[in-house]
Every structure is written in structure tokens, then in C-alpha cells.
Chains A and B, each alone.
Chain A
């Protein structure tokens, strides 16, 4: 099946620094990728839709200047958490749809801001 790879799987950073998370579709091209956030014992919450070659579409309540998304190629989208604070600590997951199929998810990135 389609493979979506996310990197890193875990990251610990200091408060005030920025962290970049990568999402790659390994065996297909994805013009659209999605970024989710998941709090402990909660469901996935869609943060934004990443569009190749154009601006991302953010869900209501998600700060676009805080969570910078870049989709520079058909196989790579990046999410940068800028000036991270402890409340940004969470599990971030990306997904991509192989054309005409369902969403495949990355392995997730556990971000801890200390």
C-alpha cells in the first residue's frame, strides 16, 4: 500500500525555538497533504491542508504564523512550529491521499517543548 513517512518521530526542543517536521509520500505524488494534531487520549484534529505550489488552508482557530506549512514538491510537506512553547507539545500527524484512494497517515511526531 501507499507509504507516508514522517520525520522525526520524536523531538524535544527548548521553549522559544522552532521545530520542523517533514512528511513525505514515498511511492506516490500528493498534491495535497494534511496535518493533524492529537492530544493525549483524544481524536485527531485537522490543523491545515497543505497544497503543493500554493498556500496552505488552515482550519479555524489554527494560527498560520505559528504553524508554517510549506509544500514545495509533490512528495514533501513540512510543518514548522515557530517559537514553540510547552502548550505546543503534542503528537503531530500528517496524511496524504494517493489519487482516488483513502488517506494514508505518517507515523506521527511527538513534540515536547521544555
Chain B
């Protein structure tokens, strides 16, 4: 099935640093979603983007829906130890549809 390419695959950063990760696809999506998954848990929705060019923030997190609708990025500012986890992007062709395609994930480690 459709797979989204996510980069970087992993990151090791110092507490307080900013983080940036992105997701690209060969096809268009109408909704981009960013999830965080901690060990042994299901993904938790962080940010949802519905319009090309949209820039949305949730606390220290900011995500943008690319103009081409084929990419998205997520930024985390002033990282803290509890930001540790795996971040997944997901593309959806229509809200509520079952065609939710996941990125390969970015594993974030924050060094105190």
C-alpha cells in the first residue's frame, strides 16, 4: 500500500533544542495528521491539518500542510524529556475514510 516517507528516521537532541521532521508522499492527501506513540501504547493525535498551506500550532508543536498536498512537516520547539517517543505522520484522503496511510516514523530521543 501507499507509504509515506518520513525523515529523519531517528534524532538525538539535547533538552531545549528545537526539532524538525518531515513527511513526503508521491500522491496527494486531503488531510495530514501527526501522531506520537510511546512504548507499548497506541498513537495519540497531536495535530490535524485540513488545508494546503495550513500552519497549525498545538503548544510547542507546529505543523504545516504543504502547498502541493504531498508533504508536511512537524516542528517541536524547546524540547523536553517527555517529548521522547516515535512521531508518525499520516495522510488521509478524506476525513473519516479508512485510507489512513502512515509514515515510517521518527524516533526522538531527548538528552536531559
Residue from A4, A59, A97, A108 within 8 A of B40 (CB atoms): A108
Which residue of B is nearest A93, CB measured? Answer: B42
Which residue of B is nearest A61, CB measured? Answer: B1
User: Is the CB–CB distance between B98 and A6 below 8 Å?
Assistant: no
- Name the prevailing secondary structure of the B interface residues: strand
Range of interface residues on chain B?
A: 20 to 34
For A28, what are the chain B residues with a Cβ–Cβ distance below 8 Å?
Answer: none
A residues lining the B interface (CB < 8 Å): 1, 4, 6, 9, 32, 34, 41-44, 46, 49, 57, 59-60, 91, 93, 95, 97, 99-108, 110
Given A32-B98, A97-B96: A104 and B45 interface contact (C-beta under 8 Å)? yes
B residues lining the A interface (CB < 8 Å): 1, 3, 31, 33, 35, 40-45, 48, 88, 90, 92, 95-96, 98, 100, 102-105, 107
User: Is the CB–CB distance between B1 and A46 below 8 Å?
Assistant: yes
